[in-house]
Amino acid sequence: MRKVALPTLLAAGIAAAAITTSSQAFAYGEGDFFTRVGVAKVDPKSDNGEILGGVDVNVDSETNFAFTLGYRFHDKMGVELLAALPFKHDLQVEGVTDGSTKHLPPTLTLQYYPLGGTDARVQPYIGAGINYTRFSDEKTDIGASLELDDSWGAAGQVGVDLLIDDNWALNAAAWYIDIDADAKVGGADAGTVEIDPVVVMAGISYRF
Considering Cα of 171, then 3, then 140, then 195, what sign does the dihedral take? negative
Task: Give the Cα separation of 76 and 187 in Å (integer).
Answer: 48
pLDDT at 1 over 50: no
Amino acid at 201: M
Task: Give the Cα separation of 115 and 148 in Å (integer).
Answer: 41
183 touches 17 (CB < 8 A): no
Structural domains in the chain (count)? 1
Q: What is the chain's Cα-based Rg?
A: 19
Amino acid at 57: V
Across 122-150, average pLDDT: 89
Task: Give the Cα separation of 189 and 16 in Å (integer).
Answer: 52
pLDDT of residue 137: 87
Considering Cα of 41, then 84, then 190, then 198, what sign does the dihedral take? positive
Q: Report the DSSP beta bridge partners of residue 78.
A: 111
**Least confident piece of the model among 51-55, 69-73, 149-153, 193-197:** 51-55
Burial annotation 115-127 (CB, 10 A radius, 16+ → b, else e): bbebebbbbbbeb
pLDDT tens across 31-68, in order?
Answer: 999 999 999 999 998 787 777 777 788 888 999 999 99
Across 107-126, average pLDDT: 94
pTM exceeds 0.95, yes or no: no
pLDDT of residue 5: 55
167 touches 199 (CB < 8 A): no
What is the longest distance spanned by two Cα atoms in the chain? Answer: 64
pLDDT tens across 8-33, in order?
Answer: 555 555 444 444 444 445 667 899 99
Report how far Cα 199 is from the mean position of its chain's Cα atoms: 4
Task: Give the Cα separation of 167 and 28 in Å (integer).
Answer: 9
29: domain range? 5-172+181-207
CA separation, residue 147 to residues 100, 174, 185 (Å):
11, 28, 7
H or E element, residue 13: helix 5-19
Q: What is the DSSP string of 15-35?
A: HHHHHT--S-----STT-EEE
CATH of the domain at 13: 2.40.160.20
